Amino acid sequence: MCPGSRVFRLKCAKSELRLDITLQCGQSFRWREISPGQWRGIIRNRVWTLSQDDSHIMFQTHSSENVSARQTDLSKQVSTIQMKQKASFGQATKRKNTEDIKMSPTNKRIRNNQYTKIYDCEINELNDIGENKLKEELRNYFRLDISLESMYSLWSKADVNFAAVSPQFHGVRIMNQDAVENVFSFICSSNNNIQRISLLVERLCKIYGSPLAAVDGITWHSFPGVSSLAAPGVEETLREHGFGYRAKYIHKSAQMIMEEGGDSWLHSLRSLPYYECHSQLMRLPGVGAKVSDCICLMSMGHLSAIPVDTHVFQIAARDYLPHLRTCKTVTEKVYHEIADHFRNVFGEYAGWAHSVRQMIMQYSNISLIWNSVAILNFPRYI
DNA sequence: ACCCGACCTGCTAT
DNA sequence: AATAGCAGGTCGG
């Protein structure tokens, strides 16, 4: 572990949580394996490092105390200007943002590293967080209040395929993610691969997020607020940064969320019944049925939501619903038929069960491609 | 109601 | 060395 901040232990059997698959299976796109068995990422605007043994999760959090002190006056100026721009999104002109885009790579590098000083005071206030509160955040993020062992045995009874693949892969969890991060990450996911999704999400944070802490020389940024993604010029900027057609979706969705009432509107969807939540999210540009279900499942607390992607469609047609083999495309009707089928099979936590099965299958396949003898590792990103 | 092509980008496999 | 093919989709005709 990185020296400087204290390492805590949270009692948690490995059969209840397996970090490697859970963190790298395409739920969240911001976790990195910084050394074997050691993961670093962000929960609730704090940088965490996690590892585990058979009985405990070891964790530590990182604050900007660790940010190296090198900072020039120039970069301070740059960052102050940037902050002002961010703060006054309402009055920000398109031209200001265009200037932003055209910054030289050097200036960009300076800028990206250097909001830090400004945030020091805020972060230091956060330092006073007790061990118990951190543990609570961890429990909440991984939904540790739900016992997985009993769920696995339930799901194994419900589905022979689950029973077949699950024994070697206990502890795969659906995380309870931040809704804003979830929405925009999965807008990035359309017609895309995990490697590039991770890259885009990281880029989004670097451009529009704020620095949280520098750890081992790497500055970690918060996920951008909705208002900064709704600001003028965002689409153009994101296009220049390789987001392709998703740039428009991100910008328009951010604007729509702001019109509806911002974060509080998004969070209020949690309390709607699943189907209503699902259709409300689908109003956002770039959010179709599949992405909406990802969000329902991973950040809205609707654990019966089943994201049906092309892969799920193929498996469903092959192994469960043969009459769908002739379908050319996944229409809304077919989509719901597949989702409803798995909800009937698995019951209340169908989305979790189904995702675990998919992840395991995917994990196994990918590993087998990488090493034809043993199941070793998930591919590393970046 | 269903089907189809277009859409950005970057990595693979010919 | 160039180029089709494709990746956990979405949208509009």
Helix ranges (DSSP H) in A92-213 = 94-101, 105-113, 116-126, 131-142, 148-158, 160-165, 179-188, 194-208
The CB-side HSE value for A263 (13 A sphere, CA atoms) comes to 10
pLDDT above 90 (res A153):
yes
Give A265-307 pLDDT, tens digit per residue: 999 999 999 999 999 999 999 999 999 999 999 999 999 999 9
Q: How long is the CA A332 to C1' B3 vector, in angstroms?
A: 13
How large is the average pLDDT for residues A222-240?
98
Q: How long is the CA A191 to C1' B8 vector, in angstroms?
A: 10
Residue A35 three-state SS: strand
Q: What is the per-residue pLDDT for A364?
A: 73
Confidence of residue A365 (pLDDT cuts 50, 70, 90): low
Confidence of residue A97 (pLDDT cuts 50, 70, 90): very low
How large is the average pLDDT for residues A203-214?
97
Give A2-27 pLDDT, tens digit per residue: 444 899 999 999 999 999 999 999 99
Determine which of A1-5, A141-145, A295-299, A337-341 has the lowest per-residue pLDDT on average.
A1-5
Residue A33 three-state SS: strand
Which residues of A are known catalytic residues?
Answer: 290
**Chain B footprint positions (protein CB, under 7 Å):** 1-4, 7-11
pLDDT above 50 (res A367):
no
Decide: CB of A288 under 7 A of nucleic strand C: yes
Question: Given the DSSP bridges, would you call strands A218-221 and A56-62 parallel, antiparallel or unpaired?
Answer: unpaired
Give the whole-angstrom CA distance, residue A215 versus residue A220: 8
Check: CB of residue A93 under 8 Å from CB of residue A128: no
**Which nucleotide is nearest, taking the CA of residue A286 and each C1'?**
C10
Give the closest residue to A169 by CA, choosing from A55, A370, A15: A15
pLDDT above 60 (res A168):
yes
Q: What is the per-residue pLDDT for A135?
A: 97
Length of chain A equals: 382
- Quote the mean pLDDT of chain A: 82
**Which nucleotide is nearest, taking the CA of residue A192 and each C1'?**
C7
Find all residues with CB under 8 Å of A360, minimum gap 6, and list them.
A21, A165, A166, A169, A172
How large is the average pLDDT for residues A80-105?
32
Q: How long is the CA A113 to C1' B7 vector, in angstroms?
A: 34
Determine which of A94-108, A214-228, A285-299 has the lowest per-residue pLDDT on average.
A94-108
How large is the average pLDDT for residues A25-36?
95
pLDDT above 50 (res A360):
yes
| A358/A261: higher pLDDT | A261
Residue A323 DSSP symbol: G
Give the whole-angstrom CA distance, residue A279 versus residue A30: 27
Q: What is the per-residue pLDDT for A377?
A: 29
Of all residues in chain A, what percent carry a pLDDT higher than 70?
Answer: 77
**Which nucleotide is nearest, taking the CA of residue A369 and each C1'?**
B12
Look at phi and psi of residue A171 and say left if phi exceeds 0, alpha if psi is from -120 to 50, else beta.
left
From the C1' of B4, which residue's alpha carbon is nearest? A329
Q: How long is the CA A236 to C1' C12 vector, in angstroms?
A: 22
Decide: CB of A362 under 7 A of nucleic strand C: yes
pLDDT above 60 (res A362):
yes
Confidence of residue A169 (pLDDT cuts 50, 70, 90): very high
Confidence of residue A41 (pLDDT cuts 50, 70, 90): very high
pLDDT above 50 (res A126):
no
How large is the average pLDDT for residues A326-330?
92
Confidence of residue A371 (pLDDT cuts 50, 70, 90): very low
Decide: CB of A292 under 7 A of nucleic strand C: yes
Q: How long is the CA A89 to C1' B4 vector, in angstroms?
A: 40
Decide: CB of A359 under 7 A of nucleic strand C: yes
| A255/A90: higher pLDDT | A255
The model's pTM is 0.82
All protein residues with a CB under 7 A from any atom of strand B: A 191-193, 195-196, 239, 242-246, 248, 327-329, 331-333
How large is the average pLDDT for residues A341-360?
94
